[in-house]
A and B are shown apart, each in its own frame.
Chain A
Amino acid sequence: MAHAHESNTKRIWIVFGILSIITIVEVLFGIYKPKSLFFNNFLGMNLLNWLFIILTIVKAYYITWAFMHMEGEKKWFRRSIVWTVVFLILYLCFILLVEGDYIYGTYKAGHLKWIF
C-alpha cells in the first residue's frame, strides 16, 4: 500500500460536511415537494424522485471514494467492483421496473378486479 500514510483528517470532515448538506437538502425537498418537480415526469418518474436518486448517487460516490478509500485503489481493482455492481443493478432495475409497470397496465385494463 503506497497510499494513505499522510493524514487526511481534513478531507474526512469535508466529506462529512458534504454528506450532511446533501441529506438536509433531500429532507427539505421531501417536506416541501416543489410542484414544478413533483408534477413533471421524465421517463415515467417525477423530477423530484430523479433529484433524490441523483443526490443519493452523489452520496454513494463520496462514501465509496473517500470513506472506503476507493480512490486509492488500483484502477482495475476499482473497476472490477464498481462496473460489476453498476451494470448488474441497472439491468435488474430496468427489467423489474418495466415489468412492474406492465403488470400495472394489465391489472388496470383487465377484467379481473384485484384490490377493491
Chain B
Amino acid sequence: MGATVISDEHALDGGPGPLGATYGKMMMWFFILSDALTFSGFLAAYGFSRFKFIETWPIADEVFNHFPFLHGVNAPMYYVALMTFILIFSSVTMVLAVDAGHHMKKTKVAFYMFLTIIGGFIFLGSQAWEWKNFIKGEYGAVETKGGSILQFVQKQEDGTFKRVALADFAATIPQARTQHKKNNGVWFVGESSLPTYSVKEVVEGFKSDASILIRTEFLNAEKHKTVLSREESLKRLTETTHVVEGANLIRNEYGHKLFANFFFFITGFHGFHVFTGVLINVIIFFNVLLGTYEKRKSYEMVEKVGLYWHFVDLVWVFVFTFFYLV
C-alpha cells in the first residue's frame, strides 16, 4: 500500500478538478448536456412530424389564445409570453442568489432562492392552467373516417370566419346510447366518457343552420385554414365518425393527432423538469437556512442547482419558439 501522491487529492470532495472546475459543477454541466440532447430529440421529432404534415398542421396562435380573466378574447401568445417572463425572472433571482453566495451573504441567498421557488410554483400553476384549457377545448370538432378533423365556422360581415362551438348549433335528439364500458364486450375496448353531442346531433344541427360552414385542416395560399362551401361542407359531413371535444392522447379538436401528443410530452417533460427543479431548490433553500454552506465556506451547491434552473429556463425558451411561435 504505497501512498500515491496526486496533486489534486481533494478533487472528489469539492476541491479543484480538471479544467478549473470542480467535479460537481463539471458533472452538472455534462448532465445538462445530455438532458439538452433529450429535449432536442423531442423538438426535432416535433419538427419531423411538422414537416411531414406541413400542409395540415394546426396553427398554434389559434389553439393557445386564452388569457386569465379575458374570456372569449382572442389573445394569441400573451399567456405563454407571460410564462416566459415568469421563468426568465426566476432565472434572474436565481443568478442573484448565486451572486450573493459568492459574497457569503446568507440572508440574501435565502431571500433570492425563496423568490426563485415562488417563481417556479407560479410557472407550474400557469402550465396547469394551460393544460386545463387545452384538454377541455373550446369549440369541439368532428373527425372523418379518414382521420381528419373538421371544424365549424360562420362567415362574419367583414368576410372573415368566426369559429362556432358545437353547443351553438347541435340539435337535441333524444336517444339511448350508453357509455361503452370494458365489461360489456371485449375487455380491452371501452370509452372513458360519452361526448356531449352525438354525430347525428351535430349533422342534423348543421343541416338546419345554413350559415355554418366547415373548415378543414388544409392551409391555403394565405396560410389560413381552408373553409369549404356549403355544398362541399354537407358532403364532407357525411364522412363523420366521431365527435371530438378537447384533447387527449388519441384525438384532439385542434387538428393532427400528433399535435396534442407532442404538446403533452414536450411541455409535460419540461414541466416535470421545472417540478424537480423547484424540489431541489427547496432542499438547497433549507440547507442555506440551516447554514450548511456557511460552515462549508462555499455556496457552490447553490451555483450547481442554479445551473439546472437556468437550463430549465433555456429549454423553455426553445419550447416557446418551436411550439408557439414558429
Instruction: Take A5-B102, A92-B44 as given contacts and tell me if A81 and B33 are in contact as well, using a CB distance cutoff of 8 Å.
Output: yes
Residues of B within 8 A of A37 (CB): none
The answer to whether A67 and B47 have CB atoms under 8 Å apart is no
Q: Chain B nearest CB: distance from A68 CB in Å?
A: 5
Task: Report A75-108 CB contacts with B as 1/0, cut-off 8 Å.
Answer: 0110011001100110011001101110110010
The answer to whether B314 and A100 have CB atoms under 8 Å apart is no
Residues of A within 8 A of B148 (CB): 115-116
Query: B147 in the interface, Cβ–Cβ < 8 Å?
Result: yes
The answer to whether B92 and A13 have CB atoms under 8 Å apart is yes
The answer to whether A99 and B48 have CB atoms under 8 Å apart is yes
The answer to whether B51 and A92 have CB atoms under 8 Å apart is no
Bound-state CA distance A4–B61 (Å) is 42
Instruction: Take A63-B314, A68-B307 as given contacts and tell me if A12 and B48 are in contact as well, using a CB distance cutoff of 8 Å.
Output: no
Of the candidates A5, A39, A66, A73, the one having the most CB atoms from chain B within 10 angstroms of its own CB is A73
Interface size class of B (residues with CB under 8 A): 35 or more
Q: Chain A nearest CB: distance from B146 CB in Å?
A: 3
Instruction: Take A30-B77, A52-B326 as given contacts and tell me if A77 and B26 are in contact as well, using a CB distance cutoff of 8 Å.
Output: yes
Cross-chain contact of A113 among B51, B81, B103, B146 (Cβ < 8 A): B146
Q: Chain B nearest CB: distance from A4 CB in Å?
A: 6
Query: A31 in the interface, Cβ–Cβ < 8 Å?
Result: yes
Query: B76 in the interface, Cβ–Cβ < 8 Å?
Result: yes
The answer to whether A100 and B84 have CB atoms under 8 Å apart is no
Cross-chain contact of A38 among B20, B37, B223, B311 (Cβ < 8 A): B223
Instruction: Take A23-B88, A74-B20, A81-B29 as given contacts and tell me if A56 and B321 are in contact as well, using a CB distance cutoff of 8 Å.
Output: yes
Q: Quick one: which of A32-54 are within 8 Å of B by CB? A: 38-39, 49, 52-53
Q: Give the size of the chain A interface in residues (CB under 8 angstroms).
A: 56
Q: Could you pull out 8 A-B pairs where Cβ atoms are within 8 angstroms? A: A1-B20, A5-B102, A52-B321, A63-B91, A63-B310, A76-B19, A104-B53, A104-B54
Interface residues of B (CB under 8 A from A): 19-21, 26, 29-30, 32-33, 36-37, 40-41, 44-45, 47-56, 61, 76-78, 81, 84-85, 88-89, 91-92, 94-96, 98-99, 102-103, 144, 146-148, 217, 223, 256, 303, 306-307, 310-311, 313-314, 317-318, 320-321, 324-326
Given A23-B85, A103-B52; 6 other pairs, CB 8 A cutoff: A39-B223, A67-B94, A77-B29, A85-B36, A101-B52, A115-B256
